[in-house]
Amino acid sequence: MQKKLVKAYYYELECTKKDKNGKKMLIDFDIDVFLRDIEKIPLEKRVIEYQGDYTRLETFFYPKECNDSLVALVFNRMSDFNTLRKSKLNEHSESIPLEDNEYIDKECSVVYNLDLKVLAIQNNRGALTARGVEQYLSQKYRDGKYEFQLKPVVSPNVVEAIKHKKLFRKIVIKLNNIGKYTQLAEGTKSELLISSFKSCQSIHSTTGLMEFSMGYNRKDNLDVNSTLQLVTDLEKNKNLVDKAEFYMRKNESDDEETTVLNFLQINLFDVLELEVVPRKPVLHQSIIKEMIDKMKKREGYLRRTSH
């Protein structure tokens, strides 16, 4: 018996619907309704096309020990390309033929926390990705009337790494989804962020790009306190931030921007340790059990960072 390491990434789930003026509104995603609708239709009706392949929600269940606070989903991605081969030690390899209605199948296990609206998604090469989950929900929930977006949960280690830096050379921030009635999170103090946000609203711009740089001045750095306050407030307003890049140098003698940290791209993940047996697949039940255990340990942090 051997061990296999698998990553599970965390995402916040956002569900939106356009009003009569075309403005996107946040809507509560009723996963119970979604699953009841899926359960009523045959397997072939659950399928959607995805990047030249097919995918469907294969199965789902509410783990008994979680008091309906979590639901487990298993998505299958089906492909008739890159078919498999088999070999024997004393014979040449040969392809495994597929019938007209047969596909190579890759599973992706997902655990959804109903209270926090956070998903843990198994990272399985060739299987469904977070973007694929978005597309599936958007097509199969309420007849496609809603849109879904999965936003990476930011790793606390990356945010702390930015906060411990002192030699900032350049910052590039892109704000998005700014509307007439949009508000910054309570307690936002960064004058840089507040000013940029208000400027967007004053000219009715839904997006705004701000850049602060030392330019050709190779001796000095951006103000540390203002930069760190900006980091803190960007965390509070993640739903409005499309990009957050911090350019730093390693030491005072280094006059180049040597490090770029975009904390919105540094996705929080856990490593699952699974037991594998020769000639037998890893059961999704084992993967989901590990994901649930990891998610429970992360619950405090997920609760603080989710909206």
23-51 pLDDT, tens digit per residue, is 788 899 999 999 999 999 999 999 999 88
Measured CA to CA, the distance from residue 71 to residue 47 in angstroms comes to 20
Q: If you ran DSSP here, which 8-state letter would residue 185 be given? A: P
- Under the banding of pLDDT at 50, 70 and 90, the label for residue 257 is low
Measured CA to CA, the distance from residue 170 to residue 286 in angstroms comes to 45
Which SS3 state, helix, strand or coil, does residue 142 take?
A: helix
Measured CA to CA, the distance from residue 192 to residue 201 in angstroms comes to 15
Region 230-255: what's the mean pLDDT? 83
Number of other CB atoms surrounding residue 42 within 10 Å: 7
Contact 131, 50 (CB under 8 A): no
Contact 116, 96 (CB under 8 A): no
Q: What is the mean pLDDT of the chain?
A: 89
Which contiguous run of DSSP H or E holds residue 157?
A: helix 156-163
Q: If you ran DSSP here, which 8-state letter would residue 152 be given? A: E
Joined tokens for residue 282 = 């890893």
Measured CA to CA, the distance from residue 269 to residue 112 in angstroms comes to 14
CA 102 vs. chain centroid, Å, equals: 31
pLDDT at 255: 62
Give the tens place of pLDDT for each residue, 118-162: 999 999 888 999 999 999 999 999 988 899 999 888 888 777 878
The alpha carbon dihedral of 118, 124, 125, 128 has a sign of negative
Which contiguous run of DSSP H or E holds residue 53?
A: strand 53-61
Contact 7, 271 (CB under 8 A): yes
Contact 54, 75 (CB under 8 A): no
The alpha carbon dihedral of 134, 62, 74, 38 has a sign of negative
Contact 213, 170 (CB under 8 A): yes
Please state the pTM of the whole predicted model: 0.77
The alpha carbon dihedral of 176, 180, 184, 190 has a sign of positive
